Structure 1
Amino acid sequence: MKVATHPGNFHADDVFALAVLGLAAGPVQVVRTRDEAAQAAADVRVDVGGRSDPATGDYDHHQRGGAGARPNGIRFASFGLVWREFGAQLAGSAEAAASIDERLVQGVDANDTGQTISESLVEGVRPMAVSGLIAAMNPVWDEALTPEQEDARFAEAVAFATGILERELAGAAAYARARALVDAALARAEDPRIVELDRNMPWREAVITGAPEALYVIYPKSDGWGIQAVPEALGAFDNRRDLPAAWAGLTGDELAEVTGVPDAVFAHTSRFYASAGSREGILALARLALTGPA
């Protein structure tokens, strides 16, 4: 596949768009040019051409009126346009593609289309996002590169973005596997307030949204068993029920004495996590947390 895009400084939207195409369609030959005839001769045009039409291989957003926006108002840049076409194919489902769009694609698109979607709470501090990482790979103002060197720098950026996308895709697949296992754990729970997993895995969304009675999740670890309190909502730090205040910050013998659980190991000061040496020990802690004072 031959893909045309613009020369000169690159941005995260065109870099990530090329990364998506490379993953979706195999090896990509990139032509960085402003020549309209050369662009027209390519199979696909990204961030150039003034059209947005997947049927003709056009993924640009610089035309008058742009290329549309998502229901939340975030406008499409080239990354979003290409992801909309190929995301579900790469991620394995529309749901997984939408999750990656929310987590990665929309931030890049918003940055490229001039939309502010986050603000620093500390004056003078501007955390670097992925768009900034890509931008930093461009030559600095007084660095003179040949066109070949510029193309090589662009290829380096695309390889970097490809690695990020590959990890996102792997994470989406792993999340889907975990979701099935967590749903099965919810279905077999003897006490709906205690969810037992056979290993630690992403459980919060499934438990928070699908198990309103669940208060604690327990699971084996490399050195024993852990218990975590279920948050009130996704992204929240407040829990449906904290672990008992009397446990907070205790370890070893102190925690064992307070709880009566011989192999109790540790309780976090924030009362969201504790550990024990065995399944029996963690179940005992969970039952105490359910019945004792919070």
Structure 2
Amino acid sequence: MIEELPDAKRQKITMKIGTHSGTFHADEALAVFMLKLLPQFKGATVIRSRAPDILESCDIIVDVQGQYDGTKHFDHHQRGFMETFSPAFKTKLSSAGLIFKHFGKDIISHQLEIPSNHAQIPLLYEKIYTEMIEAIDGNDNGQSAYPDDTPAAYSTKAITLPGMVASLNPAWNDESNDAILDSQFEKASQLMGGVFVDLVKYYGKSWLPARDIVKASIEKATEYDPEGRIVVFDDYTAWKDHLFKLEEELGISGRTYYALYSDGKGWRVQAVPVSPDSFTSRKALPEPWRGIRDQALSELTGIDGGVFVHAAGFIGGNQTRQGALLMAQKALTF
């Protein structure tokens, strides 16, 4: 019979995460941090080495050893590696993408303190990948965000996350040794991880609740226009990022022309753009109203409480919700 040791004498098993030594990059700095967010790797020791036997003694290895098996080895440098996040994506994964692909749902679950089978985790999983991780993958693998090689209008080297991580490596004329590099790597990992955690919390606690509000508002749109072209947000929310995706999911792409919301003082009528990043509206506010303000606007439109219509016609204002709604309804007739 084996005598069980008292709690005080039990040895705590410390998990080991292996990655390469020397110059570091944004992808493995983030991959290591993401792993340490998981309960099984909390407090893990990070081993940075190029020695195969030392690395193989680790419980998980990222960005080195030329192997990918989805369990222990998560490297992307080997010949023939073409793994992507899903068949819908073209960007080849780096070590950050590999770790997120396999552990991202669990990481989201733990960070947001929601069950791993929560219905919205797949939505957050893909959103977080597209908004942060994919760019890290593309950058590390040398895949340009501009497929036609359009030259950049200005340098972003010093303000991108990969650029900031690169600057944490010792300069060519600075003192450098393994201890210094390991210390700087920890700074890089904290930098990447801090941004990642903030992003997860934003999308889970702000972006996701906004989606439910936008969906409910879209479903009520026919109350204001028989064709559902006006969406009213009685409680302001970040609507632009959701509107286009929800229209697509509901099979009504391009239906919404105007979004109404309060600016805290009065009400705004915003013309919906043709795409999230476009400055072209699906239906701009009427040309005769543009650049007109206050009483002159009320007299021109025949609607009390006029505040303004922007000269470009993408937004206007009224003192009241009813006035803004009447402006939107009348604009549809032009």
The one-letter amino acid paired with 2:23 is: N
Q: CA 1:123–1:22 in structure 2 vs 1: closer, same or farther (change >3 Å)? A: closer
Separation of aligned partners in 2, 1:12 and 1:73: 20
Deviates more, 1:174-183 or 1:116-125: 116-125
57, 66, 79: which one aligns with 1:50 = 66
Deviates more, 1:233-242 or 1:213-222: 233-242
Separation of aligned partners in 2, 1:117 and 1:107: 8
Q: Tell me if structure 1 keeps the 8 A contact 2:210–2:237.
A: no
233, 238, 263: which one aligns with 2:275 = 233
Partner residue in 2 for 1:98: 126
Partner residue in 2 for 1:66: 81
Q: Percent identity among equivalent residues?
A: 30
Separation of aligned partners in 1, 2:294 and 2:238: 26
Partner residue in 1 for 2:32: 18
SS at match of 1:50: coil
Partner residue in 1 for 2:9: none
Is 1:144 aligned with 2:159?
A: no
Q: Tell me if structure 2 keeps the 8 A contact 1:7–1:32.
A: yes
Higher Cα radius of gyration = 2
TM-score normalized by the length of structure 1: 0.88
Q: Which runs of 5+ in 2 are unaligned?
A: 1-14, 110-120
User: Deviation of residue 10 (structure 1)?
Assistant: 0.8
Separation of aligned partners in 2, 1:142 and 1:205: 51
Partner residue in 1 for 2:285: 243
Partner residue in 1 for 2:301: 259
**Which string of whole-angstrom CA distances, capped at 9 and with x for unpartnered residues, describes residues 102-124 of structure 1?**
22222211222222232675566
User: Deviation of residue 46 (structure 1)?
Assistant: 0.9
Partner residue in 1 for 2:232: 196
Partner residue in 1 for 2:262: 220
Moved over 6 A (4+): none
Separation of aligned partners in 2, 1:101 and 1:282: 38
Is 1:27 aligned with 2:43?
A: yes
Q: Tell me if structure 2 keeps the 8 A contact 1:179–1:206.
A: no
33, 38, 41: which one aligns with 2:57 = 41
Q: Tell me if structure 2 keeps the 8 A contact 1:60–1:77.
A: yes
* Alignment of structure 1 residues 276-287 onto 2, 5 Å: 276-287=318-329
User: Deviation of residue 2 (structure 1)?
Assistant: 1.8
The one-letter amino acid paired with 2:236 is: R
Separation of aligned partners in 2, 1:208 and 1:237: 19
Q: CA 1:73–1:39 in structure 2 vs 1: closer, same or farther (change >3 Å)? A: same
Q: Tell me if structure 2 keeps the 8 A contact 1:8–1:150.
A: yes
TM-score normalized by the length of structure 2: 0.79
Partner residue in 1 for 2:115: none
Deviates more, 1:33-42 or 1:153-162: 33-42
**Which string of whole-angstrom CA distances, capped at 9 and with x for unpartnered residues, describes residues 113-168 of structure 1?**
22223267556623333322221222222111343232221111111111211222
User: Deviation of residue 175 (structure 1)?
Assistant: 2.2
Q: Tell me if structure 2 keeps the 8 A contact 1:182–1:206.
A: no
117, 136, 142: which one aligns with 2:145 = 117
User: Deviation of residue 268 (structure 1)?
Assistant: 2.3
Partner residue in 2 for 1:85: 102
User: Deviation of residue 207 (structure 1)?
Assistant: 5.2
Separation of aligned partners in 2, 1:32 and 1:235: 42
Separation of aligned partners in 1, 2:310 and 2:303: 16
Q: Which runs of 5+ in 1 are unaligned?
A: none
Separation of aligned partners in 2, 1:164 and 1:127: 18
Separation of aligned partners in 2, 1:46 and 1:160: 18
